[in-house]
A and B are shown apart, each in its own frame.
Chain A
Amino acid sequence: MKKFLLALSTVIFLFFSTTSLFATENSESEKFNPGPFIVGHVIDDYGWHITGEGAQSVSIPLPVILFDGGKPVVFMSNKFHHGHCAYKGYALGFTPETKRTIVKLNDSEFTGEIAELAQKNNITDDEGMASLIDADASLIDISITKNVCSLLISIIILLWLFLKVAKQYKQRENQAPHGAQGLVEPLILFIRDEVAIPSLGNKYEKYFPYLLTLFFFILVNNLMGLIPIFPGGANVTGNIAITGILAVITFLMTTFSSNKNYWKHIVNTPGVPWFLKFPIPLMPVVEFIGIFTKPFVLMVRLFANITAGHIIALGVISLIFIFGGLYGPALGYGVSIVSLVFYVFMGLLECIVAFIQAFVFTLLTALFTGMAMEEEH
């Protein structure tokens, strides 16, 4: 077993060392630019990038689903050849404004290199490139992108884990927890005893299923984002749309479970001098804005924490290629050791952050809901 592990790690090391050597050689002719590299990995994409750069890159193709004026169009994203090619008149945006979106070309049946199309129409500048795009096209894009795919994988993991545990609880009633139960039970009890009951009181049972769903959804997606290779690596909880929807649900939960007392505190805050309320309604305005800032900050906190974690990991790895490009591959190798140690350290820190952020989001959701239902005291 030990020998096998040694052999495996040697193979992995050799594999990565050759690729890093290759990359440093490349960067001598074309300087490595960490900015686009980091941004490209942090935000959503139409394919799942695995290795390589530019035209040599290898990625898992994902389905592109478009509604072009009501007509559905489905094809795989590898037809784009990393943005070089168009397929049946659809292409990845090649002008600065349409970057990372799908555009429809004026030449609606064109399949092939975009550069060829530009040459055929004698186009050299950016403005001319923009004229190739059909600006009036109404495309509705519901593609299975990297984030959506990662979301589906997380859903499968969650369903598998919880259906299994639920079955175990039915079979092993009144027995000590066993196997996966031992993983899930402490977390559920933790959420119940530390989050739900202290903030929601005796009415916690109504909200408990959602709190657990929220916690495990964020936790699993955070942890999946920390895995650098295929089933993980997508920045799901570092996507502002996803954290935004979670925050909107929190906002709706707070608003719909609110009572008279909650609104009284907003409109006519007790214990505040009258001159803060009467000619200019300062306190009511502040309180009213507070309704929206609470979920907004919730959204930004999760987004910023997870995105920052990804950026730091990518930045540390980028250092290898920056130094390798500056002073030759030898220094790249030297820095790679330091970078790897840093990467492991940051990875462990991110494991804690993944848990804390899931916990904080759940705690605050419970707290806001509990505050909205609080009786007068």
Chain B
Amino acid sequence: MSSLSLLLQAAADGSIGKMGAGIGAGLAAIGAGIGIGRIGQGALESIARQPEVAGDVRTNMILTAAFVEGVALFAIVVCLLIAVA
């Protein structure tokens, strides 16, 4: 019970929120890392199997990576809003 009141107190002065923003930014980075890593894996495998389509694969890889990054940045913006405002 006392720990709960401590938590509530911390939440009231906004320090828990800032911690949450930090954790959220870290989670977003993990998600984006996994996503972009898997895209790179897929692209490299397909280029190794079929080197003649390397150009096409590369364009699509960068495009998909941009989409994943966009979602991660979505989370970063929310975290930033918590941390700054």
**Residues of A in contact with B (beta carbons under 8 Å apart):** 35, 39, 194, 297, 300-301, 303-305, 307-308, 311, 352-353, 356-357, 359-360, 363
> Bound state CA distance, A83 and B61, in angstroms?
47
Residues in B with CB closer than 8 Å to A356 are: 62-63, 66
Chain B contact surface mostly: helix
Residue B77 interfacial (CB < 8 Å): yes
B63 touches A304 (CB 8 A): no
**Residues of B in contact with A (beta carbons under 8 Å apart):** 59, 62-63, 66-67, 69-70, 73-74, 76-77, 80, 84
Name A300's closest neighbour in chain B (CB-CB). B74
Residues in A with CB closer than 8 Å to B67 are: 301, 360
Chain A contact surface mostly: helix
> Bound state CA distance, A35 and B67, in angstroms?
28
Name A360's closest neighbour in chain B (CB-CB). B66
A301 touches B84 (CB 8 A): no
A300 touches B77 (CB 8 A): yes
Residues in A with CB closer than 8 Å to B73 are: 301, 304-305, 308
Name B73's closest neighbour in chain A (CB-CB). A304
* Chain A-chain B contacts (Cβ-Cβ < 8 Å), number: 39
Can you give 6 A-B contacts (C-beta < 8 A)? A301-B67, A308-B76, A308-B77, A311-B80, A356-B66, A360-B70
A307 touches B77 (CB 8 A): yes
Residues in B with CB closer than 8 Å to A308 are: 73, 76-77
> Bound state CA distance, A352 and B61, in angstroms?
13
Q: Which of B63, B74, B77, B84 contacts A360 (CB 8 A)?
A: B63
Given contacts A35-B84, A39-B84, contact A357 B77 (CB under 8 A): no
A301 touches B77 (CB 8 A): no
> Bound state CA distance, A35 and B21, in angstroms?
15
Residues in B with CB closer than 8 Å to A353 are: 66
Residues in A with CB closer than 8 Å to B76 are: 304, 308
